[in-house]
């Protein structure tokens, strides 16, 4: 096993990796930007090294500097987390060339899956079902129309270098194709420096279901079942669960075998995820493979009973997986809500400021993977995801009630967050029935994001506003912002503090508990 690992990331995933290392008896080196000098991942690591100014292009993305730090501090391996350098083949290669271990797949496997057309080609040759379409980029609109007519409209234009929805265009008729192709190419060129675009049949109203795979360097490739990730907005997942209501044990076995075949074809090692579309008829299609640990890995950990990040590290150190495929069947139900610094009632506008107060949910079946604490400054330099609230319960219904309970225990004051949105989802009958597709969130935005107007919420808002006014008078500083609650449970923004006695927040918490 390694004696020291450099963690090339920040926020909740840096802490997640540090915790895994601590439990394995591995020392950690954190890296941080000037904006993160007081971040929890810096404090929790055994050592921490400043790598640059706040913009990630000058800090977390400067691969050569991170490798230099690893060599200088005596780390033997680098864990990239997700985002940043995690899926850059050149970085995986540079780490290896420096005599270090990249805790992730071989650079060749990242390359193989990085081009979406190459990944489709690979999938097809491995017998993996893909959406009807091309494995070459289209030359011009005439060729694209001819291809589209072989499987019919609507079709989807996708960037070959893409992923995550950039450079995608739905085309519903031949007459729209030329314009759509031109704009998809423009967007692809701007986003990826490559204007290659290919064409697929557009699948209407599917679910997004993905399969976790785990492979070692001894030829063992396992799948760890599915995650249902359909609740997403603009390609940003908001809620994930495992298992999926749409996946039977028989379908899980088939999709799992498919994911294993795709991973084997790519020479995959370490943790990875195969993304599928699952249509209404139970047909599934391979989309792409994410060659990293994913944000939503905890729901798989909870239902499958293993620590994926620890296994990433153990596999990277050369250990063989001691499991057989038959050891894995999901136990109970796990659900994750992404807590972001975005204001649901304001178009999910990013919210910035200081986290004045943080109260975390605890109790049975609750897990918090976070990167924030009271006093954290939330800015605009990095991703708005602050933390993940994850629950595990015997059934899906019980997981939903547990999530609702945990969300109500959570208080984050000082910035707006996605908390109230998640409560709305938990209360929505479509979600409770599991009747959701990748379009569901965006089709139901008003109901999921409008400010609350019921009597109880307004009464609570009035109580909180009165308490804020009281606190302002007592502190003698009239700078507090209004504490109008949109969801009946947040009690506003603290702008003044008192060293003595209960704060208005404590009083508000008691009052709101009484009136709910």
Catalytic residues, by residue number, are 292
Interacting span for ligand MV4 (CB under 6 A) from 140-148, 162-170, 178-186, 410-418: 162-170
Q: Which of 228, 288, 296, 416 binds ligand MV4 (CB under 6 A)?
A: 288
What are the start-end ranges of the E strands in 280-394? 284-290, 333-340, 342-343, 349-350, 353-354, 357-359, 366-370, 377-378, 385-393
**Rounded distance, CA 47 to CA 392, Å?**
33
H or E segment and range at residue 446: helix 445-449
> 364: helix, coil or strand?
coil
Binders of ligand MV4 in range 109-138 (CB under 6 A): 131
CB 285 within 8 A of CB 130: yes
The nearest distance, CB 438 to ligand MV4, in angstroms, is 4
The nearest distance, CB 117 to ligand MV4, in angstroms, is 13
- Decide if residue 147 touches ligand MV4 (CB under 6 A): no
- The binding track of 190-229 with respect to ligand MV4, each residue x by CB under 6 A or -, is ----------xxxx----x---------------------
**Rounded distance, CA 342 to CA 348, Å?**
5
Cβ closest to ligand MV4, residue 120 vs residue 396: 120
- Decide if residue 172 touches ligand MV4 (CB under 6 A): no
Cβ closest to ligand MV4, residue 201 vs residue 405: 201
> 90: helix, coil or strand?
helix
**Rounded distance, CA 355 to CA 339, Å?**
13
**Rounded distance, CA 355 to CA 346, Å?**
19
- Which single residue is written with the structure tokens 């070459």? 136
Number of residues forming the site for ligand MV4 (CB under 6 A): 17
Cβ closest to ligand MV4, residue 180 vs residue 203: 203
Alpha carbon separation from 40 to 51, 221, 309, 373, 376 (Å, rounded)? 16, 34, 19, 8, 9
CA 90 to chain centre: 23
Cβ closest to ligand MV4, residue 116 vs residue 392: 116
Interacting span for ligand MV4 (CB under 6 A) from 41-49, 163-171, 473-481, 485-493: 163-171
> 378: helix, coil or strand?
strand
CB 499 within 8 A of CB 471: no
Interacting span for ligand MV4 (CB under 6 A) from 23-31, 118-126, 160-168, 452-460: 160-168
- The binding track of 391-430 with respect to ligand MV4, each residue x by CB under 6 A or -, is ----------------------------------------
Cβ closest to ligand MV4, residue 145 vs residue 465: 145
The nearest distance, CB 384 to ligand MV4, in angstroms, is 18
- Decide if residue 165 touches ligand MV4 (CB under 6 A): yes
**Within 8-106, where are the H helices?**
11-24, 40-44, 63-73, 89-97
φ/ψ (deg, to 5) at 207? -95, 155
**Rounded distance, CA 158 to CA 161, Å?**
9
**Rounded distance, CA 223 to CA 330, Å?**
12
- Find all residues with CB under 8 Å of 153, minimum gap 6, and list them: 171, 172, 173, 174, 202
- The binding track of 246-275 with respect to ligand MV4, each residue x by CB under 6 A or -, is -----------------------------x
Cβ closest to ligand MV4, residue 287 vs residue 407: 287
Cβ closest to ligand MV4, residue 27 vs residue 201: 201
- Decide if residue 9 touches ligand MV4 (CB under 6 A): no
Q: Which of 218, 235, 331, 497 binds ligand MV4 (CB under 6 A)?
A: 235
CB 261 within 8 A of CB 268: no
CA angle, residues 105, 234, 429, in degrees to nearest 5: 105
Cβ closest to ligand MV4, residue 283 vs residue 515: 283
**Rounded distance, CA 78 to CA 4, Å?**
9
The nearest distance, CB 206 to ligand MV4, in angstroms, is 6
Cβ closest to ligand MV4, residue 15 vs residue 255: 255
The nearest distance, CB 428 to ligand MV4, in angstroms, is 18
Q: Which of 70, 438, 465, 468 binds ligand MV4 (CB under 6 A)?
A: 438
- Decide if residue 232 touches ligand MV4 (CB under 6 A): yes
Torsion angle in degrees (nearest 10) through CA of 461, 467, 470, 474: -140
Interacting span for ligand MV4 (CB under 6 A) from 158-166, 185-193, 242-250, 321-329: 158-166
CB 231 within 8 A of CB 238: yes
- Decide if residue 287 touches ligand MV4 (CB under 6 A): yes
Q: Which of 7, 89, 156, 390 binds ligand MV4 (CB under 6 A)?
A: 156
**Rounded distance, CA 487 to CA 407, Å?**
12
H or E segment and range at residue 462: helix 455-475
Cβ closest to ligand MV4, residue 208 vs residue 252: 208
- Where do contacts with ligand MV4 occur on this chain (CB under 6 A)? 131, 156, 163-165, 200-203, 208, 232, 235, 275, 277, 287-288, 438
């Amino acid at each position: 096993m390694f004696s020291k690992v450099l963690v090339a990331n920040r926020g909740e995933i840096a802490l997640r990796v540090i915790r895994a290392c601590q439990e394995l008896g591995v020392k950690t080196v954190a890296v941080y930007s000037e904006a993160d000098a007081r971040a929890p991942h810096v404090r929790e690591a055994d050592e921490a090294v400043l790598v640059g100014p706040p913009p990630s292009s000058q800090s977390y993305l400067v691969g050569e500097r991170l490798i230099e730090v690893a060599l200088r501090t005596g780390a033997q391996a680098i864990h990239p987390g997700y985002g940043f350098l995690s899926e850059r083949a050149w970085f995986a290669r540079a780490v290896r060339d420096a005599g270090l271990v990249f805790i992730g797949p071989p650079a060749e496997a990242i390359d193989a899956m990085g081009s979406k057309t190459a990944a489709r080609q690979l999938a097809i040759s491995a017998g993996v079902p893909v959406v009807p379409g091309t494995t070459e980029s289209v030359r011009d609109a005439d060729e694209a129309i001819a291809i589209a007519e072989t499987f019919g409209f609507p079709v989807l234009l996708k960037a070959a270098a893409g992923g995550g929805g950039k450079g995608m265009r739905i085309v519903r008729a031949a007459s729209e194709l030329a314009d759509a192709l031109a704009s998809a190419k423009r967007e692809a060129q701007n986003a990826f420096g490559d204007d290659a675009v290919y064409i697929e049949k557009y699948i209407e109203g599917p679910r997004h279901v993905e399969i976790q795979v785990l492979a070692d360097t001894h030829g063992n490739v396992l799948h760890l079942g599915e995650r249902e990730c359909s609740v997403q907005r603009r390609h940003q997942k908001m809620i994930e669960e495992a298992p999926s209501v749409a996946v039977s044990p028989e379908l899980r076995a088939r999709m799992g075998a498919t994911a294993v075949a795709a991973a084997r074809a790519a020479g995959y090692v370490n943790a990875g995820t195969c993304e599928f579309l699952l249509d209404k008829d139970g047909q599934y299609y391979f989309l792409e493979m994410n060659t990293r640990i994913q944000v939503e890995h905890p729901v798989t950990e909870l239902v499958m009973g293993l620590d994926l990040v620890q296994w990433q590290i153990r596999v990277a150190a050369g250990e063989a997986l001691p499991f057989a495929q038959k050891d894995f069947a999901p136990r109970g139900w796990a659900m994750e809500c992404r807590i972001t610094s975005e204001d649901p009632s304001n178009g999910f506008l990013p919210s910035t400021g200081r986290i004045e107060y943080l109260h975390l949910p605890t109790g049975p079946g609750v897990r918090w993977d976070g990167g924030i604490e009271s006093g954290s400054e939330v800015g605009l330099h990095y991703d708005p995801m602050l933390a993940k609230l994850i629950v595990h319960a015997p059934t899906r219904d019980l997981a939903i009630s547990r999530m609702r309970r945990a969300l109500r225990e959570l208080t984050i004051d000082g910035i707006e967050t996605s908390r109230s949105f998640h409560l709305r989802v938990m209360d929505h009958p479509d979600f409770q029935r599991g009747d959701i597709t990748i379009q569901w969130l965006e089709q139901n935005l008003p109901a999921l994001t409008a400010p609350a107007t019921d009597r109880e919420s307004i009464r609570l808002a009035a109580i909180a506003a009165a308490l804020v006014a009281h606190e302002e008078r007592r502190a003698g500083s009239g700078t507090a912002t209004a504490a109008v609650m949109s969801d009946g449970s947040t009690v506003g923004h603290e702008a003044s503090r008192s060293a003595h006695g209960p704060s208005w927040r404590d009083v508000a918490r008691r009052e709101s508990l009484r009136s709910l």
